Structure 1
C-alpha cells in the first residue's frame, strides 16, 4: 500500500505498515505484512476496494485466496475489473481460491475458466448428458455418435480432457462451497463427471484401436462412483463387461475389448503437462487383479454364482453402468442385482462382513488411526459397513432397501424400521459431516487423502470453510470428534447387534434463551408459528413450581424431538394441553424427570397426528403406558372382555353409563394400539387384529347392556338366543381405526317363546345395541352397520336361523356368497354363531366351486364397482380402497380363489385376506411371486389408510392431494421430510405391480 506523509515532511513508514498489517491480521490474514504487500501489488485501486477485502476475509484461508488472486491477476489483468463488476463472481472465485490451492493453480494456468463463474450461468447445474457432451467435445469426439471416437490419443488430446474436466470441477466446487448444493447433489455430479470422463477416455481408446470397432464394451461403476457418491479425488472403481459384435467370436471379443479397456484406463491415468485425472481401478472384478480384465456377461454370471466371495457381493451392491454400451450395462446390472440379494443366504455371510470390517480397520496405520476419517474408528467405513450389512440382511425380503447410495439406503432402513429414526439421523449427520471434511481435504491439493491434518493453519481452514468463525479450530475439532464418536457407537450397535432396539437418548440441557434467540431457534427447527410456540413454552416453564422446573429441564431437548416429528407446532400444543391436565400428578412428574425416553416418545406421538393427541386429551393418564414396549402389547381378548363385562356390570339398570364406561376402555386400548403402530411395535396385520378384537369386545359389552335393559323394560327374560356375526373387515380381523362394525344379527327363539315375541325382543336388542354405541361420548364411535344382511336395508334387521337358510337357499346372489367369506362369530350366543357359520359354509365354500356363470357375474360386479363406486374426482391411482392395485383388488383376488377352491381345500377357509393368499400359494393355486406382490400392496394400502386416520383424526381412503397433508402422512409412515414424492412413487409402483397381477389372475385365469 502507498505510504503518505504530512506537513510536507516524510513520515516513517514502519508504524503505518505495522498498523495496516495488524489490521489485516485482525481481519483474518495470518501474515498481515505479506497480505499488505500483495494487496499493494494488485494496484492502488485495490486499497479502497472494501468489497474485495470483505470477500477475501470471508474465505476459508484469506492468505491462500490472496496469493492465488495475485498470481491470477498477473496472467489476467482484467480479472480485478471483472471481480468489481460482478460481486457473484468475486464471492465464488475467492471462495474457491481460499480452499483449493490446486484449483487456484488451474485458474492461473487457464484464466479463461474464471468465466465459468460469471453471471447467472454460474449457478446452472449441468445434466449428465451435458457433462458427457462437453468432455467428448474436449477430445474431438462427436457426442451424438453411437461409439464416439476422439480426434487422437496423443498428449494434446489427453491434456484437453484434463483441462475440460478441471474446468467442470471448478464450476462444481464454486457451487458446493457456496452452499448451493446438498452433499447428495455434489456427489451425484462428481459421479456423472467421472462417467463422462470415462466415456471420453473410451473415445480416446477407440481412436487408438480402430480394429476394435464393433465389439460391445460396458463400463460398470463400482464403489462410490457406482453409488453416485463419488468424492473430488478418488480412484474410480470399475468392472468391464463385453459381448461379441456381429461376426465375432467370444475369444476375439474379449481380446479386443481388453485393448479398449486398457486404452481407456491409460487415457484417464496417464500423466500429462496438465496432470492426470485419477486411477481407474478394476481390482473389484472377479478374481481381482489375478483375473482377466474383461469378461463376457455369461462369464460374470457363472463366476458370481459359483466362486464369488462375500465381499464381492457387498461390492456389487453399488454396481451401476456408467459408460460404454448402455444396453449391455443394463443387462449386467439386472443380472448381478438378482444375485446380490440372494447372497445373504450364504453360510457365514454376516460374520464374513463383520470380519472384513475388522481387517480393514486393522490395516490403518496406528499413528493415523485417530485422524483417519475413512478407515479409522468412527469413520466413513463404519457407517457404510453398518448400512450395507443391514441392507444385505433385510433387502432380500424388502425391495425398498435396495438403494446404492449410503444416505438413501439409510433413509430406507429408517423408514422400514430396521434402524431407529434418531440413530439414522445421527448417522446421516455424521456421514454428511465426514464427507464434507473429505471433500475439503481433497480440494486443497486435489490429492486423494482421508487424514485430518494436525497443523493449526490447516484445521483453521477446514473450520472456516464449514462456516465456523468464532473458534474454527476448536469448534471443528469438537464437532468432528462428536460425530466420529457417534458414528462409532452406532456402528457397534447396528453392525454387531442389528436386531437390538434403537434407543437414542439426547442429553438434557439447561440452556436458557432470550425470547429473540428462542424464536430464531424455533424457526430454524421448523416451527411454523414460533411466536405461538414461545407462548406455550412460557406457560409450561414460568414460575418456581416443581412442574415448571422439570419442564425447563426437558423442553430444550423436547423442542428438538417435536421438530423431528411431522408437525412440531401441533406436538408442542398437545404437550402443553396434556401437561396442564397432568402437570401436578406425582407419577407424571416422576415419569418426565426419570424416563427421558417416555418424554421423547410422547413428543413424537403428539407431533405425528391428531388421533393420538385426541385420545390422550380424554385419557391423559394413559401416558403411563409409554414407559416400556411391553405396555404396548395388545391385551388378550379374554382379559379385555372380562374387564368390559365387569365395567358394564357395575351399572345395573343404567345401560348408557355402562356402555360409555366400556367405550372408555376401548379408547384406552385404541391408544395402546395407535402408539404401538406409530412406534413400529406392531405391523399392519397385528394392528388389524388388535382393532378387530377390541371391536368384538366392545360389541359384546354393548350387547350385554342392551339385553339387560330390554329384559328390565319387559320384566321378562329375552326368550331367544342372540348372536352377532362379524362381516367385512371386522370379520376378516382387518379393521382400521375408522372402520364401522359390519355385522349381521341372528336369533333363535327358546322353547316356549312365540316366534313373534322372540322377533320383537331380538329387534329391540339389535336397535338398542346400535343406539348405545352411537351415543355422543368423548371417545371415537363404533358405528354398527348391518347393510350386508339379506335384502340390505330393505330387509329385516334380525332374522332367525331358519329365515337365513330359506333366503340363502332361494334368493342368494354370488356377491352374498362372497360376502359370507368374511363371516365370523363376534358376540352373543357362541353356539348360535357356530350354527350360523355351519349354515354359511356350503354357500361360501361350495363343493366343486362356484359355477362359471357366477365367476363371470363376480367379475362384472367388480368391473362395475370400479366404474361406479369410486368417488367423483378421486384419482384411481391414489385411492387405497377402490383404486388400481388397492385393497379391493387384492381382496377380490383372494375371495375368488376361495369361492372356486375352498370347497375342496380346507386350508382356504379363512376370513383373512393375506392368510387366504398364503394358503393359495401352499395349495399351488397362486405363485409365490404373485402373492408377494399382492400382499405388499395390501399392506401398504392398509398402512396408508391407518396413517391417514392417525394424522388427520378422521378417516379417508385417498392419499391427500394437499402437499402439506401428504408430507405429514409420508412422515408418519417413516419417510424423511423431503421424501413425500418418494412415498407417492413407492405407492404407485407397488400398486401398479399389484394391478398387473389382478388383471392376469382375477380377470384372465
Structure 2
C-alpha cells in the first residue's frame, strides 16, 4: 500500500494554522462545564502549543488550554485542520469529543474487530425514543468520522484500514438502528411470521457498491436493498399486518433514522434506487419476489451491482440464503463475454452523462477514473466468476490480486491498476475530507487545490495534477484494452469494420454466383461447398431458434471468422472444422462474443482447429475450453507436476466440501483445459513427445490424488475410518496402482487408465463410524466411489475410461485386493503376461507405507528366477495371439512378404516390428534378468529400462539406442494420428528400416 507522503504545510496554508489553534482553544475556554465532573483543571497554556519558533504569536498572552499537548500532537492537529474544515468544525462545536478521543487513545490505534460496532451499540442501547436514536447515531457518526479522517490524514491508517473503518461504522449504524427499531415495530404491529415455515421473520439489508465491498469512502452514500424471507402476516395483535407492509414500514423508519439532515447532521445518505424496479418499486420484497425479478427482468447493470452485495444488517443467516439464491443471476456457469458489451454500454452512458454535466474533472466517473478500474476487475468477474470461484469476492484490491495470481492479467498491468486505484482513492478521500461532502470533482479554488496537493504529499497543485493525469491516462489505456470495442479503431479511421467485406455474403445480399466468386478470389478451393456450409449453418434448427440478441452476435462474428479464415493456407478446412463449433454454441452466444471481443483468441482457435480435428471436436463438445485461448502464454506453457497438483488443489479448496456436483465439474474442466494446453503446445512444437506423455501422466496423477481424497472423505463420512492394530487410523492404507500407459508414463491423448486398487487394512477390524463395516467392505466401497467419480458422465463428460481387468483374477476378481492377497496371487496364480504387465506397474497416489509394501511385492515377483526357455515361449505365444487378433490382416500383422509394399498398411502399435514388439522385449528382459540386475526394476517406462539394459551390458548399445529411437518415432506417429482423429495405422512404406531392425532384435533375443 503506497501511502501519500507527509510533507510540510505549504506557505499558502500557514495562515490557517494559527487561526485554527486559536479557534479551538477559544472553544475549549468557552465550553461551560467541560471539565466539571472529570476531575480536571485548566492548566496554563504549554509552550508546546505555540505556532512555531519565531512566530509573532509566540509572545501573545497565554490562553488556557485543557491539555498539555506535546509537539507531535499539535503537528497532527495542524495537519488535519489545515486540510479539513469538517474536523475543525467538529472540534470547535464539540471539543469534548476530540479530547475524549485523545484521552481514550482511539486516535492513535487501529480498532480490534468488532470494537467500533461495540462502541456504537453501547451508545444506541441508551436511546429511549426514535428521536434520541437518530441523535445518538449522528453523534456517533461525527465522532467516528473525526477519528477516521484524523488517522487518514496523519497516515496512521492506510487506505484499506480507512475504508474498513468507514464500512464497519456504516454496518454498525444500520444494524444497531435495525435491532433497536425491530422489537418496537413488533410491539406496535405484531411479530411477522412466515406462512410456509411458521418461523419469525426478520428483514435482510443488503449493502451494495462500496459498502458491500467494504470500500466506503469518507463521504459515501450507502446503496441498500431490503428483503425478507417469506410472506405471511404478523401475530400477537388484533389487526395483523401483511409481512410486506410490516417490513415496508420498518424500512421507512430505518431510513428515517439514518438519512435526514438534522441539527446533529446526518448518519448516511441512503440510496434505495438499486432495488428491483428502482424508485417505483416496492421498498421491500420477499426472497421469492427478488429471485423472480432477477431471473426474469434483471438487467446487465444489476448483475454488475450485485457482485458487491453483502449482508450488512438484519438476519445474517437468511441473508446468506438470499445471496445463494441470487448467485446464478450474477455468475453464469459458462464464460460470459456478453458482460463486456454490457459494461461498454454502461461506460458509454456514463461518458455521455459526464460530457452533458461537464464532469471531465470527476476522478470517479471521468476518463481514467476509479470506475474504469472497477469495470476492468468486474468484467473478469462476470466473465469467469461462474467457473473460477476465486473471483467471487467483493474488495477490488483482492480481485486484482486474484487476476494476477490466476494469470488473467500480467503482473505489470495489475501493479499499475493497483497503484492507480490507490492514488485515485486517496485523492477522493482528500477531496471529501475538506468538508465531508459527497463529491469526486477536483476543486476550482486555489485554497482547496493547495489542500489536496498537501494531503497527497505534493509541494503544489501542479506537481500533484501531473501525477494524477499520469494515473488517469494509464487507467484509461488499460480500460481500453479490456472494454474497448474491437471495431472502434477501424471506425475512427473510417476503415471497414473488421470482416465487413464478408457481411453482404453472410446476409445473402449477394447472389450465389457473386458469393462464390468472392470466396474463390479469397482463396477457397471449393467455393460452392464453402457457400453451402454457410447456408446450412444459416438454415440449421439451432439458428432458427436463436433470440434476436444471439442472432445479432452471430451476425457480428461470422464476417470476422471469414476474414481470419482466408488468412490460412486452407480456408476450406477451417470452415469444415469451425462451423460445427459455431452451430454448437449458437444458443449460448456469449461464446461468440468471446471470439468477437478477442481476435487473437479467434486466431488461435483457427490455427489449432486447422492442425487437429481432435481439438476442433473437443472445443465443439466443450465450448468452455475457449477460455484457454485467451491467454497465449498459459496456453502454450503447461505447468510442471508440482504446480499442476497445487493448482488443482487450490481450485477444489474454493468449492464447499458438500458440493459434489461442482467438484466433479471442476475436475473435468481442469482435465479438459490442461489436455488442450498440452495438445496446443505439441502442435506448436513446444513439447516433444516424451514431455507430452509426462504432462498427460502428471495430469492424471493430480486428478487421481484429488479423486482419492474426495472418495475417502465421502466413504469415511458414511462409515467412519477403518482401524488397524498398529495405528489408530489408515492414513489411508490404500493405493491406486497404474499399469500400462499411465504406469509407464506414456499417456497419450484420449488414453484410458489401467488401474489396480490395493489396501493394507485388517479385515478383522471394523470402521469407527455410525454405520460400521469391516475394512474389506470399506475399501471395496472406496474403490467403487473412485471409479464412479472418474467415469460418471456430467455436462463436461467423464474424467477417464477406467480398465480394472489387470487386477488379480481379472473381471472376476475382487475390485480391491489386500497387499497380502495381491502378493499370494502374483506368486502362485498369475500368468506370465500378468508379470509382464507388472513391469510397467507403479503406485500413482495413496498411502506411502502401503505403496512401499506394493513395491516390495512387485520387486520380489519380477526378480524371482525363471526358466528362460519357458519364459521366451510364453512371451512369444502371447505376442502371437495379439498379432493375430489385433494386427493388420492383409499383411499377416506385418510379418507377411507384402508387409513393406506400397499400398499396404502398418499398425504402429500391433504389427510386427512396432510398439508392442518393443514393449514385449523390454518386459521379457526385465523378467529374465532383474533378479541379477535389480536396477532394471527402478523404472517403469520403456525408455529408461532400455537405458538400464544398455548400462548392464544386456543389450548392445547400438541395439538399445535403435529400440529407443524407433519407440519414440512410433509413439510420435501415433500421437499425430490421434490428434488427426485417425487410427494408428499408416502407409506400409513408412518406418521400413526401423521395423526390420526391431524384428531382427526380436529374433536375436530368441523370441518367435
TM-score (norm 2): 0.47
State the structure with more CA Rg.
Answer: 2
TM-score computed with the length of structure 1 as normaliser: 0.47
